[in-house]
């Protein structure tokens, strides 16, 4: 097999039309965007309401991370979540949030193994979430976005 066999050729207009329904794709992107945004807000709310910011900072410290990183994480989850829900620079926001999930995998969930049902939660869920953010970045803003990405 040569490098030419491994290269991905761009889709033709016919192939694109056959594989993506242009009528529903904007709504699929909207559904994904709003769901991802709501998940980020839910995780921020968990850190604020249930754990409290001070408790989240203590947890981050117990992992050997700077406790202040908890406050930054909460802010990123709130700002990113709101931006996704509203459709403000969706592609860029989705790409910017991927490192947050990769950090969660490497620094928090990785040692627990793959399955999220493992004790201390594995990295399955944050990995899926990171892939969903990548898909969102590829799909774009979708319907009803306030500020289109470029």
User: How far is Cα 53 from Cα 66, in angstroms, rounded to an integer?
Assistant: 13
Report if residue 5 sits inside a domain.
no
Its domain, for residue 49, covers: 26-139
pLDDT digits (tens, 9 = 90+) for 100-146: 999 999 999 999 999 999 998 999 999 999 999 999 999 999 999 99
pLDDT digits (tens, 9 = 90+) for 68-109: 999 999 999 999 999 999 999 999 999 999 999 999 999 999
Report if residue 56 sits inside a domain.
yes
Report if residue 94 sits inside a domain.
yes
Q: What is the pLDDT of residue 19?
A: 83
Q: How many domains does the chain have?
A: 1
Pair of tokens at residue 41:
């807000």
Q: What is the pLDDT of residue 148?
A: 84
Report if residue 33 sits inside a domain.
yes
* DSSP letter string, 1-20: --HHHHSPPPPPHHHHHHHS
Report if residue 4 sits inside a domain.
no
Q: What is the pLDDT of residue 66?
A: 98
Identify the DSSP state of 110: G
Q: What is the pLDDT of residue 12?
A: 72
Report if residue 17 sits inside a domain.
no
Asked if residue 20 has pLDDT above 90, the reply is: no
pTM: 0.87
Count of CA atoms in the C-beta half-sphere (13 A) of 33: 30
Q: What is the pLDDT of residue 149?
A: 79
Burial letters 49-60, b for 16+ CB under 10 A, else e: eeeeeeebbeeb
Asked if residue 2 has pLDDT above 60, the reply is: no
């Amino acid at each position: 097999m040569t490098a030419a066999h491994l290269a991905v050729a761009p889709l033709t207009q016919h192939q694109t039309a056959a594989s993506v329904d242009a009528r529903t794709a904007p709504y699929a992107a909207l559904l994904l965007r709003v769901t991802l945004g709501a998940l980020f807000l839910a995780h921020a709310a968990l850190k604020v309401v249930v754990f409290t910011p001070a408790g989240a900072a203590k947890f981050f410290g117990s992992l050997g991370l700077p406790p202040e990183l908890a406050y930054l994480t909460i802010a990123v989850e709130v700002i990113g979540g709101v931006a996704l829900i509203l459709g403000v620079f969706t592609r860029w926001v989705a790409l910017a949030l991927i490192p947050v999930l990769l950090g969660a995998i490497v620094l928090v969930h990785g040692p627990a193994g793959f399955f999220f049902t493992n004790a201390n939660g594995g990295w399955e869920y944050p990995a899926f979430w990171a892939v969903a953010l990548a898909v969102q970045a590829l799909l774009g803003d979708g319907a009803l976005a306030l500020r289109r990405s470029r």
